[in-house]
């Protein structure tokens, strides 16, 4: 156990160390983030002005589809798995993940899966062009032939998520240091326990959905074909039974990150710890019974519309508990505004805006107006970007000193934050106006009255994209030449086992269970 | 070595990345194969997967026999198997959900039930909802893409109950769950012969189940006109029973590996995780069958 990392590429290919695997997840995720971001830049460049300038409409459809798929499955989900790999064993006093070899398998599936998915862009017929939600019959009867690669790609990516989640659950339930009861775990660990449960519950349903597509396309079944007695709407039910919990799979670990950062920089313990745990569990439970709020316009019976409307609104209660607790944690705290804290505060504000627009969308009669408009695009980017991405960026700034033993450049971090914060809002706030004015999503062109706000949105998007290169530079500069630090407790107000081990964290953190009060 | 400390971390290993390679090649190969292109990449992937899984399991078994697997690691394995079975439950849930949805909602709507009268009169005039769907909406309008079956798999009446294959399959599978339990009990009391005999009976019952299901499928295709293409009834019937049958094959394979291990004397009364995990899987397959028997056959 005393030995350090192996030399050369074998260290990464043959890895069983949770820190190495976590690092690979983080870099893979950032690579996918840049690729998905590049697709977003293509989209915003085309929408800079009305009319078709840069790409053909068919390619535009592939860009919106791939942007969504890559960002959801390739960037956001893996970044939190990377953080889980790095932090959970250190936070609970474990030597490593419970199943280290399975852990490496979970990671290495991803490069194969995403290479397959991305390579479809260069195949005859082009890549997936049916939107990241791949509704039938667009994704079945009218799909390009490459849809089969998409289907099998989703299968192995899903297998990776399931194996990763099994590993995380086994680690948390089985490898905690003596004395760390469930209700003493850091909230990040709690949120991942719940997220892993959600993943194991819904990734198989996604596998079922793509399997049904595969059979309809190639083997003559009629799941989604009314001519055979099936129903295209069935696809939407199966997909969103996966898809709504998926949204929380993305955001719940973000809650954990924010619940670690805000107490540190407020120099106060987290307010309402147990209510945070219960609220997270309540959100996870509700996520299973609200899926059809994504489908208010498909012609559901009235009773269904009402049920899904009210059930969805219930989610605001536990979410409100969380936001209340974060704000109350800051209340009368000795707050300092380092980069992670700035991103965390921005998270609380912007995620709340995304939550409020979600509440608007939950109202079935109103949603019939908003459905498939840019209002929806603005809503979920407030949750996905300002929620999931801001929190994972905050997490990197927060923990990178512990990972590397080097401090990032605070001034550059602050510049990154302010450019991101302003550019994000310039990009997505106007999309609320566009949507309310009636601009539909996923079109390559638009009517002239939408021109001004689209140009503003595109300028914001370019600035947001550029600011991420600054982030990349800051991270590399920290690893290569950051100011060395050695205090185990990098941040004055930080609490928890991960801050008791040396900085940088040794290759093997704990070889015997640490004492935990 | 890790075994000296109270925590266990395995050495670096090529196995996981090779497993990922095999899965990647299977995904690419399957995508090519379903489009009618070369099956070679798929076959290469499957072969590689078989090899690496053999190596992986051999390694873990070897580690356990050398005493490197402490109680905590065994607990991790136990949890992992339990959660894996839960993920399988959710996979079947997707297909059961599809069955309930089409049966309770979609097919009656196509038949014009309630508010959906216009669907029927404008699009599928003449289609009347029934389950099993013996005549598809396509067929009613003169189409030939989806042609319903002449017969279905439902309960044939008490007079013919003994010729009803799913009843026999239910008996076979329930018996096999019982025999695997006896085998487990025998091993816990150190009775290896009894263990081997009852595990062998279990595997034989599993194979008998597969044989009966093969006969049922053969009848469906040759005499009943029931195929994957015979509309939503054939779709749900074959996908649910087909995935279940595949899991029976997988479970029988797992148990036969455990039988070979039992013959080699791998198991001890207090250390038999490989067998226990396979038997949980077997019980899970049995429970899924009960769901199928009720919702696909008896109520079908």
pLDDT in tens, A55-88: 999 999 999 999 999 999 999 999 999 999 999 9
Asked if A269 has any chain B CB less than 8 Å from its own CB, the reply is: no
Are residues A218 and B34, on separate chains, in Cβ contact within 8 Å? yes
The CATH architecture annotation of domain A10-499 reads Up-down Bundle (1.20)
**pLDDT recorded at residue A7:** 84
Are residues A148 and B31, on separate chains, in Cβ contact within 8 Å? yes
Three-class DSSP labels, A27-82 = HHHHHHHHHHHHHHHHHHHHCCCCCCCCCCHHHHHHHHHHHHHHHHHHHHHHHHHH
**pLDDT recorded at residue A5:** 83
Helical pair B15-34 and A147-174, crossing angle rounded to 10 deg: 150
Tokens (6 digits) for A431: 């999309």
CA-based nearest residue to A461, from A431, A482, A439: A431
pLDDT-derived band at B7 (thresholds 50, 70, 90) equals: low
Instruction: Measure the CA–CA gap between A16 and A356, rounded to whole angstroms.
Output: 43
The helix (H) or strand (E) run that includes residue A88 is: helix A77-92
Angle at Cα B99 formed by Cα B97 and Cα B105, nearest 5°? 90
The per-residue pLDDT for range B45-80, each reduced to its tens digit, is: 999 999 999 999 999 999 999 988 889 999 999 999
The helix (H) or strand (E) run that includes residue A406 is: strand A406-407
CA distance A13 to chain B (A): 6
Are residues B5 and A1, on separate chains, in Cβ contact within 8 Å? yes
Say if residues B15 and A101 touch (Cβ distance below 8 Å): yes
Tokens (6 digits) for A330: 């800051």
pLDDT higher than threshold 80 for residue A3? no
pLDDT-derived band at A516 (thresholds 50, 70, 90) equals: confident
CA distance A434 to chain B (A): 34
Which residues have CB under 8 Å from A349's CB, separation 6+?
Answer: none
The per-residue pLDDT for range B77-87, each reduced to its tens digit, is: 999 999 999 99
Q: How far is CA B300 from CA A205, B218, B220, B234, in A?
A: 23, 19, 15, 11
Best A197, A222, A233, A288 residue to mutate vs chain B (most B CBs within 10 Å)? A222
Q: Helix or strand or coil: residue A373?
A: strand
Tell me, yes or no, if A29 is annotated catalytic.
Answer: no
Judging contacts by C-beta atoms under 8 Å, the chain B residues touching residue A204 are 87-88, 90-91, 93-94
Q: Which percentage of chain A shows pLDDT scores above 90? A: 96
Q: Which of A17, A205, A511 is the closest to B94 by Cβ? A: A205
pLDDT higher than threshold 70 for residue A90? yes
The per-residue pLDDT for range A226-254, each reduced to its tens digit, is: 999 999 999 999 999 999 999 999 999 99
CB proximity under 8 Å: A 133-172 to B: 145-146, 148-149, 151-153, 155-156, 159, 162, 165-167, 169-171
Mean pLDDT of the region B231-250: 98
Say if residues A318 and A282 touch (Cβ distance below 8 Å): yes
Judging contacts by C-beta atoms under 8 Å, the chain A residues touching residue B80 are 98-99, 102, 166-167, 170
Asked if A218 has any chain B CB less than 8 Å from its own CB, the reply is: yes
**pLDDT recorded at residue A6:** 82
- Longest pairwise C-alpha distance within chain B: 76
Q: Which of B87, B145, B231 is the closest to A162 by Cβ? A: B87
Question: Domain map of chain A by residue range?
Answer: 10-499
CA-based nearest residue to A248, from A220, A204, A288: A288
Which residues have CB under 8 Å from B268's CB, separation 6+?
Answer: none
- Longest pairwise C-alpha distance within chain A: 68
Are residues A14 and B13, on separate chains, in Cβ contact within 8 Å? yes
CA-based nearest residue to B81, from B272, B292, B262, B263: B272
Judging contacts by C-beta atoms under 8 Å, the chain A residues touching residue B114 are 301
> Cβ–Cβ contacts within 10 Å for residue B104, how many?
11
What is the complex's ipTM, to 2 decimals? 0.95
Three-class DSSP labels, chain B = CHHHCCCCCCCCCCHHHHHHHHHHHHHHHHHHHHCCCCCHHHHHHHHHHHHHHHHHHHHHHHHHHCCCCCHHHHHHHHHHHHHHHHHHHHHHHHHHHHHHHHHHHHHHHHCCCHHHHHHHHHHCCCCCCCCCCCCCHHHHCCCCCCCCCCCCCCCCCHHHHHHCHHHHHHHHHHHHHHHHHHHHHHHHCCCHHHHHHHHHHHHHHHHHHHHHHHHHHHHHHHHHCCCCCCHHHHHHHHHHHHHHHHHHHHHHHHHHHHHHHHHCCCCECCECHHHHHHHHHHHHHHHHHHHHHHHHHHCC
pLDDT-derived band at B2 (thresholds 50, 70, 90) equals: very low
Identify the burial level of B159 via C-beta atoms within 10 angstroms of its C-beta, where 0-12 means exposed, 13-18 middle and 19 or more buried. exposed
Q: Which of A171, A204, A220 is the closest to B90 by Cβ? A: A204
Tokens (6 digits) for A27: 């870099």
Instruction: Measure the CA–CA gap between A389 and A272, rounded to whole angstroms.
Output: 25
Which residues have CB under 8 Å from B235's CB, separation 6+?
Answer: A215, A221, A222, A223, A228, A230, B228
Tell me, yes or no, if A246 is annotated catalytic.
Answer: yes
The per-residue pLDDT for range B36-49, each reduced to its tens digit, is: 999 999 999 999 99
CB proximity under 8 Å: B 113-152 to A: 114-116, 123-124, 133, 136-138, 143, 145-146
Q: What's the pTM value of the predicted model, to 2 decimals?
A: 0.96
pLDDT higher than threshold 90 for residue B19? yes
Best B11, B21, B24, B152 residue to mutate vs chain A (most A CBs within 10 Å)? B24
**pLDDT recorded at residue B201:** 98
**Beta-bridge mates of residue B268:** B271
CA distance B44 to chain A (A): 15
Mean pLDDT of the region A430-442: 97
**pLDDT recorded at residue B8:** 66
pLDDT higher than threshold 80 for residue B4? no
Say if residues A107 and A163 touch (Cβ distance below 8 Å): no
Alpha helices in A93-186 (DSSP H): 100-119, 147-174
Which residues have CB under 8 Å from A408's CB, separation 6+?
Answer: A339, A397, A400, A401, A474, A475, A477, A478, A482
């Amino acid at each position: 156990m005393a030995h350090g990392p192996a030399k050369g590429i074998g260290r990464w290919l043959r890895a069983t160390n949770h820190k190495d695997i976590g690092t690979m997840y983080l870099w893979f995720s950032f690579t996918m983030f840049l690729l998905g971001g590049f697709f977003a830049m293509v989209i915003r460049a085309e929408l800079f002005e009305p009319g078709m300038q840069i790409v053909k409409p068919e390619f535009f459809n592939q860009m919106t589809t791939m942007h969504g798929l890559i960002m959801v499955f390739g960037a956001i989900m893996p970044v939190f798995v990377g953080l889980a790999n790095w932090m959970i064993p250190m936070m609970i006093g474990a030597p490593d993940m419970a199943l280290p070899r399975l852990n490496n398998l979970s990671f290495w599936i991803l490069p194969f899966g995403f290479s397959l998915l991305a390579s479809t862009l260069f195949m005859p017929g082009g890549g997936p062009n049916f939107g990241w939600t791949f509704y039938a019959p667009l994704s079945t009867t009218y799909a390009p032939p490459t849809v089969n690669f998409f289907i099998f790609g989703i299968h192995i990516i899903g297998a990776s998520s399931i194996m990763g989640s099994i590993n995380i659950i086994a680690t948390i339930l089985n490898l905690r240091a003596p004395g760390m009861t469930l209700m003493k775990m850091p909230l990040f660990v709690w949120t991942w326990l719940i997220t892993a449960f959600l993943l194991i519950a819904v990734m198989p349903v996604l596998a079922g959905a793509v399997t049904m597509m595969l059979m309809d396309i190639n083997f003559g079944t009629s799941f989604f074909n009314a001519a055979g007695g099936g129903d295209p709407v069935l696809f939407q039910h199966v997909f969103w039974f996966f898809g709504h919990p998926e949204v929380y799979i993305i955001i719940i670990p973000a809650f954990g990150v924010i619940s670690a950062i805000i107490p540190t920089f407020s120099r106060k313990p987290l307010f309402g710890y147990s209510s945070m745990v219960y609220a997270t569990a309540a959100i996870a439970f509700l996520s299973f019974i609200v899926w059809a709020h994504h489908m208010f316009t498909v012609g559901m019976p009235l009773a269904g519309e009402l049920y899904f409307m009210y059930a969805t609104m219930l989610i605001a209660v536990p979410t409100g508990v969380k936001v209340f607790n974060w704000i109350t944690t800051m209340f009368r705290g000795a707050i300092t505004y380092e980069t992670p804290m700035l991103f965390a505060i921005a998270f609380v504000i912007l995620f709340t805006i995304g939550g409020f627009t979600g509440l608007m969308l939950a109202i079935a009669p109103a949603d019939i107006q908003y459905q498939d408009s840019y209002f929806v695009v603005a809503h979920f980017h407030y949750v996905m970007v300002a929620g999931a991405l801001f929190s994972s960026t905050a997490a990197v700034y927060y923990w990178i000193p512990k990972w590397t033993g080097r401090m990032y450049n605070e001034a550059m971090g602050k510049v990154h934050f302010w450019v991101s914060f302003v550019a994000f809002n310039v990009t997505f706030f106007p999309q609320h106006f566009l949507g309310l004015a009636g601009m539909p999503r996923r079109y390559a062109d638009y009517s002239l009255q939408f021109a001004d706000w689209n140009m503003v949105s595109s300028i914001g998007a370019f600035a947001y994209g550029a600011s991420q290169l600054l982030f990349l530079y800051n991270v590399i500069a920290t690893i290569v030449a950051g100011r060395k630090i050695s205090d185990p407790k990098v941040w004055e107000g930080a609490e928890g086992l991960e801050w008791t081990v040396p900085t940088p964290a040794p290759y093997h953190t704990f070889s015997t269970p640490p004492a935990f009060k | 070595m890790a075994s000296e400390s109270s925590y266990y971390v395995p050495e670096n290993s090529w196995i996981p990345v090779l497993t990922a390679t095999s899965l990647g090649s299977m995904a690419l190969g399957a995508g090519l194969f379903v489009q009618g292109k070369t099956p070679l990449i798929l076959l290469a992937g499957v072969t590689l997967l078989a090899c690496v899984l053999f190596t992986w399991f051999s390694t873990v078994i070897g580690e356990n026999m050398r005493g490197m697997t402490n109680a905590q690691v065994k607990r991790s394995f136990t949890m992992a198997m339990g959660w894996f079975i839960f993920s399988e439950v959710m996979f079947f849930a997707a297909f059961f959900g599809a069955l309930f949805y089409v049966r309770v909602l979609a097919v009656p709507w196509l038949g014009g039930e309630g508010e959906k009268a216009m669907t029927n009169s404008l699009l599928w005039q003449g289609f009347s909802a029934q389950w099993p769907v013996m005549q598809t909406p396509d067929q009613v309008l003169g189409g030939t893409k989806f042609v319903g079956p002449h017969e279905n798999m439902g309960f044939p009446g008490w007079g013919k109950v003994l010729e009803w294959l799913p009843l026999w399959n239910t008996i076979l599978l329930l018996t096999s769950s019982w025999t695997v339990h006896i085998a487990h009990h025998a091993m816990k009391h150190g009775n290896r012969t009894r263990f081997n005999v009852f595990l062998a009976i279990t595997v034989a019952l599993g194979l008998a189940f597969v044989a009966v299901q093969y006969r049922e499928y053969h009848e469906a295709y040759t005499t009943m006109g029931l195929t994957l293409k015979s509309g939503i009834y054939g779709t749900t019937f074959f996908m649910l029973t087909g995935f279940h049958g595949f899991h029976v094959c997988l479970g029988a394979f797992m148990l036969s590996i455990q039988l070979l291990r039992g013959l080699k004397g791998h198991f001890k009364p207090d250390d038999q995780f490989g067998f226990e995990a396979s038997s949980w899987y077997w019980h899970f397959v049995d429970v899924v069958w009960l769901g199928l028997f009720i919702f696909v056959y008896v109520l079908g």
